[in-house]
Amino acid sequence: MSEVSQVGPQALPALYETVERIIDEARRQGATASEVSVSLDQGLSTSVRQGEVETVEFNRDQGFGITLYVGQSKGSASTTGSGAEAIRETVAAALAIARHASEDPYAGLAAAELMASGLPDLDLYHPWAITPEQAIEQALRCEAAAFASDPRIRKADGSSLSTHQGCRAYGNSNGFIGGHASTRHSLSCVMIAETDGQMQRDYDYDVSRIGSALAAPELIGRRAAERSVRRLGARPVPTCEVPVLFSSELASGLLGHFMSAISGGNLYRKSSYLEGALGQTLFPEWLSLDERPHIPQGLGSAAYDSDGLATYAKSFVENGQLTRYVLGTYSGRKLGLPSTANAGGIHNLFVSHGDEDQAALIRRMDRGLLVTELMGQGLNLVTGDYSRGAGGYWVENGEIQFPVQEVTIAGNLRDMFRQIVAIGSDIETRSNIRSGSILIERMTVAGS
């Protein structure tokens, strides 16, 4: 890994220079405006299974993408090259597309006066000087701990360690240029438990900006084994309407559906059930959703969005009421609203929660389904109808009774969000959306 240092912050001046050369070339060829993103990435990934090494992969990639405008017509192109000829050819390709594209009155860069300045350092770059041999050793320790934890763990379905570092710069012809270096490291383990002819699979993982902050391989392996063993004996339950508790690792996805429904692209395309919902009460009054993009080392932290606008802390839901949509420059123009500096998505979304952990929420639920696994893509964002295959645990008298499989949970997102009873203190920190377990008052569970 002798080239680790070349992908760090010290690479930014060269990337800035490349951005400026590309913008100059676009201007020379006749573009009236342009924006460029240049990237340099490097990573190592290893995986093992049943005590044997399956893969060891290195990657090192670079390239750029350009979007340019001829009046209100837009064209985009990208390449893995960065030399003078690659720049000329890619700009020419984007320009040819723009000249054949229809005019779009909403197209174009954000106003120059809105561009970010004085970008904060978010401490996102922490390279991990781990060798392939060390990475393999950690993955093997993870798997070995899983096998040693319970005799019912019969097979491994793969343990993987990956480390990634990248450097990105963005600039446009309105004078903005910015960049950052970042890292992301992860370790995961998937195991298979077997007894009485039934097999069940489950997993555990961790992810961090800092390699040394990952959970110990032995802990991840044991947790993967414990989760797999707990699934043994799973069976369906009769169809019923009961409270449903989404575990924290699934709750972030549930809230992700809400954020998709209030995103500008789905709203201006009229493909969201929340079109026109601004100002409406969509959640219980105690619930708020807010974005905190400047958390040091945060997995979703960013100083600027993909339009070059400075990110800032903001709420999307206050006291249950929808206060703003998720907008970039283009979607904002389409809807007649200002950008919320969310071109490219949200950054570190937090949901308000109580002080009850998942066990306390199970006791509060009394009888119902704890969902720990979801399958399928049964979501209609136009209507809000929600139907997913699910697995988890049946709860009676506030205690887990047995594992459940082969059931479907169904409802409508509008009703589900209004019927949130509580959100737990067991915050999921491995996601851009930080939420605890979510208890919903009532859903249909379709089973046997």
Q: What is the pLDDT of residues 354-396, one digit of tens each?
A: 999 999 999 999 999 999 999 988 899 999 999 999 999 999 9
Least confident segment among 3-12, 197-206, 278-287: 3-12
- pLDDT band for position 82 (cuts 50, 70, 90): confident
Are 336 and 428 part of one and the same domain?
yes
Q: pTM higher than 0.75, yes or no?
A: yes
d(CA 36, CA 168): 11
Structure token digits, residue 183:
């890292």
Whole-number Å distance between alpha carbons of 348 and 432? 5
Residue finishing a domain among 209, 229, 249: 229
Our CA dihedral for 395, 398, 399, 403, rounded to 10 degrees, sits at 10
Whole-number pLDDT of residue 377: 85
SS3 string, 132-145, reads HHHHHHHHHHHHHH
Same domain, 247 and 149: no
Asked if the model's pLDDT at residue 4 lies above 50, the reply is: no
Residue 43, C-beta contacts closer than 8 angstroms, at least 6 positions apart: 58, 59, 60, 162, 163, 164, 165
Q: How far apart are CA 165 and CA 88, in angstroms?
A: 28
Angle at alpha carbon of residue 341, lines to 335 and 344, rounded to 5°: 90
5 pLDDT band (50/70/90 cuts)? very low
Residue 210 sits in the same domain as residue 172: yes
**What does the angle CA 22 – CA 23 – CA 27 come to, to the nearest 5 degrees?**
115
Answer yes or no: do 294 and 241 share one domain: yes
- Number of neighbours of residue 377 by Cβ within 10 angstroms: 8
The angle at the Cα of 445, spanning 443 to 447, to the nearest 5 degrees, equals 175
Q: Please give the pLDDT value at position 196.
A: 87
Sign of CA dihedral 205, 302, 122, 291: negative
The answer on 316 and 172 residing in a single domain is no
Note the residue count of the chain.
448
Q: Is residue 1's pLDDT more than 80? A: no
- Cβ–Cβ under 8 Å, residues 337 and 325: yes
Number of domains in the chain: 2
pLDDT computed for residue 279 by the predictor: 97
Rg for the chain, CA atoms, rounded: 24
Asked if pLDDT for residue 2 goes beyond 60, the answer is no
Residues with Cβ within 8 Å of 11's Cβ and at least 6 positions away in sequence, in order, are 40, 167, 181
- Assess whether pLDDT exceeds 70 at residue 433: yes
Angstrom distance (rounded) from CA 357 to CA 431 = 18
Residue identified by tokens 């395309």 is 269
Record the tokens describing residue 119, joined without a space: 């970008």
pLDDT at 197: 87
Q: Which domain holds residue 161?
A: 4-229
Q: State residue 448's pLDDT score.
A: 83
CATH of the domain at 135: 3.30.2290.10
Mark whether 258 and 345 lie in a shared domain: yes
Q: What's the confidence (pLDDT) of residue 59?
A: 95
| Residue finishing a domain among 205, 229, 253 | 229
pLDDT digits (tens, 9 = 90+) for 205-262: 999 999 999 999 999 999 999 999 999 999 999 999 999 999 999 999 999 999 999 9
Q: In this model, does residue 6 exceed pLDDT 80?
A: no
Secondary structure of residue 4 in the 3-state scheme: helix
Phi, then psi, of 239 in degrees rounded to 5: -60, 135
Looking at 229, 250, 278, the residue that finishes a domain is 229
> Same domain for 143 and 202?
yes
Angle at alpha carbon of residue 114, lines to 111 and 115, rounded to 5°: 100
Per-residue burial over 392-403, b if 16 or more Cβ lie within 10 Å, else e, is bbbbeeeeeeeb
For the segment 121-132, the average pLDDT, to the nearest whole number, is 96
The string of pLDDT tens digits covering residues 330-351 is 999 999 999 999 999 999 999 9
The reply to whether 141 and 289 lie within a common domain is no
Which of 105-109, 196-200, 274-278, 289-293 has the least mean pLDDT? 196-200
E strands, 149-255, are: 153-172, 177-195, 198-208, 240-246
Euclidean distance between CA atoms 248 and 240, whole angstroms: 23
**Number of other residues whose CB lies within 10 A of the CB of residue 26:** 26
Judgement on whether residues 22 and 161 belong to the same structural domain of the protein: yes
Backbone angles phi, psi at 135, to 5 degrees: -65, -45
Tokens of 208: 């961090």
Question: For 312-337, what is the mean pLDDT?
Answer: 98
Same domain, 369 and 263: yes
Report how far Cα 231 is from the mean position of its chain's Cα atoms: 26
Residues 391, 262: Cα–Cα separation, whole Å: 28
218 and 249 within one domain? no
Same domain, 82 and 175: yes
Q: How far apart are CA 27 and CA 41, in angstroms?
A: 28
Instruction: Report residue 204's pLDDT band, with 50, 70 and 90 as the boundaries.
Output: very high
